[in-house]
Chain A
């Protein structure tokens, strides 16, 4: 019995089969979840927030926080054919990826619609770790048909993994005894002795800030947590949940499933899914590679140009433009798109949004019709939007190697 299944296997519980799984860090997390604000992710009990969304958000930006990535899907792809199999599946050229490096990837259907995005860790010449937000085993197996020398393992529960993000994250790791992570550049992987095991640390994350992800065998989950929290006590360490993650990733300009994109294999309506070009991820599609799934369809998409494109917007005022429709004129007569995610960004001090905008309307005026309420009274306003090219939040410290010691 997997430790994560503890609730599901209680013979005295008539609802045992319906219970959520528990993360390897659950014991510590539940003690800190003062608000009992739980939701779920891939069948795991998962915190929306622990104490206060904004407090957790400010920890990510000003000190550091931990985000549980045990529920994130992890697949080991191993064997002589692992590289060619994965390289045919994803749109980037993995032949350029070196050992102990991580790369951000996307994979598409034959018709070039985005199935999901994720990261691939090259752990060795014939050993790769693919991580992604949603279960992907069926697609991996389909993609592996015809490659005889490849083994695919769902390793989601073989690792206890924790994301440590924020400006003091390096200082915490150094205090913990891992000063050597100073040498890790963004997307590097290091392996460090911890107790009687090895801790894998990658300089990766989903906040657009300095940060690391810590990977250890499940038996060492709690000792690692305790060592981390003991080292982080002076550096403002705090667990954060889904809500603060969503704020940080929006500032960084990262896309989220069911916000910016609908996974192609789960999309019912025709072309209600997206191409990488529509998501402004054209840079992930490497046409120098002779073949990968969706290549010819993607080439046609590229040549025709996307009809809509995911755009970063700066919006006047301070009312978040959540679920707003966008117009080309202040009178709201000409609809040109819609907002996918929006928030008031405390770090940037701006009203920001990601939006799907008709490509030909990008050069003209963009107005958002914003609905908001004040003490139950509903109001709306039309606010001018300006297109922003760079991510809203992209501090130098996210890239500096060695990182500054805060």
Chain B
């Protein structure tokens, strides 16, 4: 039996970050990952010989402070200083390009409005930034640190000034459609600007809730949330995290799925004592930190028998259905998108906000959209090593695709849906079909199986207002500690939720060390 301080379940970026921060403070840490490769949803997968990619593929939400704290650049992380623009593809060919502070748009009024819009988002994103990098206070707690956190957060918002604070409170839960209608006129542009507020969620442009907050969260990363692709793709980040972890002394075991979290009980109550691996081996530790999603952690690994009834039911009722499918194409050459010099940005195919809305309408009743909307990226333009020379990888995040298709997923349905997606791509990039060497469609159900994530949700559970902040994933587990002594959470199911930010992992480590 090894003397060990902490076991981390899951080698995604949050698990790696948490493990490294703990190990750097002197803890003896073992990290176990179910898959062969580290990285979770950012792990590299080879979908066709010589063609590689990962589910998460751009870096935008990770704060510079974390990159510095773990010294990731010294561990080999290279991020291009060139950020990826957002391109609103237009069926007419009059595409518009959105950069950090400027818009190459079709309407004079939109071009003028964009800097104001971007400045408003930056200001609010800046005010919210402290929220993401600390443990949320417990409601009803009267301890000094909880009160201080409340105070600091309130102060930061108040320091916006009265007018801006009121404006923040007004827009924070607005549907994206309402917000964008206030600033812009062009339909294609508005649809594209929705994307980063909606991607990965159960929201459409007309949905009030967390859309604006998601956008602000995503813009609080390095360089104002501009998207960039690390050298070699996201695997470049994962390798740097792995090196940082190993240098800090973390023991990493891959291909090592966990069957259960071990809970012992006596007259002093229950406490965590380690994990049982799928092969029957027991790893002992008085502290276990799970980066698995909350339902997996509590309902599968711990089990309701060790939990309270109402808590269990809150975990069970979390909204966890993912609605993003992924398409991978191996291309023999770079496709030509009509009207675009180079397809080097994030290309949004969504002609109007209504197109997005109708796609969601279909999906929420278990149907496939007639006109899917998608974000297309050719990562091999930025990370040449992921495809054979001269050849390319194209990926598309396709919304909205139900995890549970009402009529059930069959190979025929996959093929038919992939054909619809190919038709869309062909319309914007004529001839692309002839370049396809291989293709695959991953439904949310496929993502669930591949990444061991309940229902294939990018963020483990919907980051809606009722499942955010001190309610994420639910009260009594929202400060990384759980009702089981010694068991903590550190994944996207915790505050401040998904994307490759590393904040849940770092916040959890800080909480454990505090």
Residues on A close to B: CB < 8 A?
84-85, 88-89, 109-110, 139, 142-143, 145-147, 287-288, 290-291, 293-296, 299
Contact = CB atoms under 8 A, between A and B. Distances in A.
Task: Say which size band chain B's interface belongs to.
Answer: 20 to 34
B313 A290 contact: no
Contacts of A84: 305
Interface stretch (B9-17, B74-82, B83-91, B263-271): B263-271
Given A146-B303, A146-B305, A293-B309, 16 more contacts: A109-B309, A109-B310, A110-B308, A110-B311, A110-B476, A142-B309, A142-B312, A142-B313, A145-B313, A147-B304, A147-B305, A290-B264, A290-B269, A291-B265, A291-B269, A291-B305
B305 A89 contact: no
Contacts of B476: 110
A110 B311 CA distance: 7
20 contacts: A84-B305, A85-B305, A109-B309, A110-B311, A110-B476, A142-B310, A145-B309, A145-B312, A145-B313, A146-B299, A146-B303, A146-B305, A147-B304, A290-B266, A290-B269, A290-B270, A291-B269, A291-B306, A293-B309, A295-B269
Contacts of B303: 146
Given A288-B267, A290-B265, A295-B269, A145 B304 contact: yes
B130 interface: no
Given A146-B303, A147-B304, A296-B483, A110 B270 contact: no
A89 B266 CA distance: 17
Contacts of B266: 290
Nearest to B267: A288
A287 B270 CA distance: 11
Interface in B269-318: 269-270, 299, 303-313, 316
B142 to A, nearest CB: 15
A86 B477 CA distance: 25
Contacts of A109: 309-310
Contacts of A147: 304-305
Contacts of B310: 109-110, 142
Given A110-B310, A110-B311, A145-B312, A296 B269 contact: yes
Contacts of B311: 110
Contacts of A139: 309
A58 to B, nearest CB: 44
Going nearest first, the 5 A-B pairs with the smallest beta carbon separation are: A146-B304, A290-B265, A110-B308, A110-B310, A288-B267
Contacts of B309: 88-89, 109-110, 139, 142-143, 145, 293
A146 B267 CA distance: 23
Contacts of B299: 146
A14 to B, nearest CB: 40
Contacts of B264: 290
Interface of B: 264-267, 269-270, 299, 303-313, 316, 476, 483
Nearest to A287: B267
A270 to B, nearest CB: 11
Nearest to A299: B269
A299 B436 CA distance: 64
B270 A291 contact: yes
Contacts of B306: 291
Nearest to B307: A146
Nearest to B303: A146
B299 to A, nearest CB: 6
A177 to B, nearest CB: 44
A288 B311 CA distance: 22
A235 B303 CA distance: 55
A88 B305 contact: yes
A88 B476 CA distance: 19
Given A146-B299, A288-B267, A293 B313 contact: no
Nearest to A297: B308
Contacts of A294: 308
A88 B267 CA distance: 14
B269 A146 contact: no
B311 to A, nearest CB: 6
B332 to A, nearest CB: 51
A226 B311 CA distance: 50
Contacts of A299: 269
A88 to B, nearest CB: 6
A296 B269 CA distance: 8
Contacts of A288: 267
Contacts of A88: 305, 309
Most central of B264, B306, B309, B311 by chain A CB within 10 Å: B309
A293 B267 contact: no
B316 A145 contact: yes
A291 B266 CA distance: 8
A293 B269 CA distance: 12
Nearest to A143: B309
B303 to A, nearest CB: 6
Contacts of B304: 145-147
A122 B483 CA distance: 31
A144 to B, nearest CB: 9
Contacts of A110: 308-311, 476
Most central of A290, A293, A294, A299 by chain B CB within 10 Å: A290
Most central of A145, A147, A288 by chain B CB within 10 Å: A145
Contacts of A290: 264-267, 269-270
Most central of A84, A288, A296 by chain B CB within 10 Å: A296
A255 B305 CA distance: 29
B283 to A, nearest CB: 21
A177 B134 CA distance: 74
Contacts of A287: 267
A295 B307 CA distance: 10
A294 B311 CA distance: 10
A299 B309 CA distance: 17
A293 B270 contact: no
A255 to B, nearest CB: 22
A116 to B, nearest CB: 14
Contacts of B312: 142, 145-146
Contacts of B267: 287-288, 290
Most central of A143, A146, A290 by chain B CB within 10 Å: A146
Nearest to A88: B305
Contacts of A291: 265, 269-270, 305-306
A294 B476 CA distance: 13
A95 to B, nearest CB: 13
Contacts of B483: 296
A33 to B, nearest CB: 41
B316 A293 contact: no
Contacts of B269: 290-291, 295-296, 299
Contacts of B308: 110, 293-294
Nearest to A144: B304
A139 B312 CA distance: 12
A18 B304 CA distance: 39
Contacts of A293: 308-309
Contacts of A143: 309
A294 B309 CA distance: 9
A143 B307 CA distance: 10
Most central of B265, B303, B308 by chain A CB within 10 Å: B308
A139 B308 CA distance: 12
A218 to B, nearest CB: 32
Contacts of A296: 269, 483
A299 B265 CA distance: 15
A143 B308 CA distance: 8
